[in-house]
Amino acid sequence: MRRVVRGFWGPREESVDSVARRWEFTLDRLAESLPAAGSGAGWTWRQIHSSGPATDLVPNKDSLLAALHAVREADGWSARVGFGLRLVLAGQPDWTIEVSGNGGGTSEFLLQSMVIGIKSPDTAEIPDADLLGVVAEAWEPDFGDVTDDDVLDALEDDAGFAVGEPCVGWVGCLSPARAALLPEAMTAAGRGLRSGGVLLAVAPRGDVEGVVRANLQLRDAGALQPLPSPMDRATL
pLDDT in tens, 163-183: 889 999 999 999 999 999 998
Give burial (CB, 10 Å; 0-12/13-18/19+) of 25.
middle
Residue 229, pLDDT score = 92
Residue 164, pLDDT score = 86
DSSP sequence for 156-209: HHHH-PPTTS----SEEEE-HHHHTT--GGGGGGEEE-TTS-EEEE-S-TT-HH
Distance CA 175, CA 140 (A): 8
CB atoms within 10 A of CB 180: 14
Q: How far is CA 29 from CA 22, 69, 76, 144, in A?
A: 11, 23, 32, 17
Any residues with CB less than 8 A from the CB of 161 and at least 6 apart, and which?
Answer: 155, 167, 215
Residue 149 is which amino acid? D
Residue 44, pLDDT score = 82
Among the listed residues 231, 222, 115, the one whose alpha carbon sits nearest the alpha carbon of residue 179: 222
Among the listed residues 207, 206, 189, the one whose alpha carbon sits nearest the alpha carbon of residue 198: 189
Return the ∠ at Cα 5 (arms to 197 and 13), rounded to 5°: 60
Query: According to DSSP H, which parts of the chain are helical?
Result: 16-33, 61-73, 128-139, 149-159, 176-179, 208-221
First to last CA, the chain: 33
Mean pLDDT by 10 residues, the chain (236 residues): 95 95 94 73 81 87 93 79 89 84 94 95 90 96 97 94 93 96 83 89 94 96 96 96
What is the reported pTM?
Answer: 0.93
CB atoms within 10 A of CB 42: 9
Instruction: Tell me the pLDDT tens digit for each residue of 101-137.
Output: 999 999 999 999 999 999 988 888 899 999 999 999 9
Among the listed residues 136, 154, 124, 127, the one whose alpha carbon sits nearest the alpha carbon of residue 32: 127
Residue 64, pLDDT score = 95
pLDDT more than 70, % of the chain: 95
SS3 of residue 27 by DSSP: helix
H or E element in which residue 85 lies: strand 83-89
Distance CA 72, CA 79 (A): 9
Residue 37, pLDDT score = 67
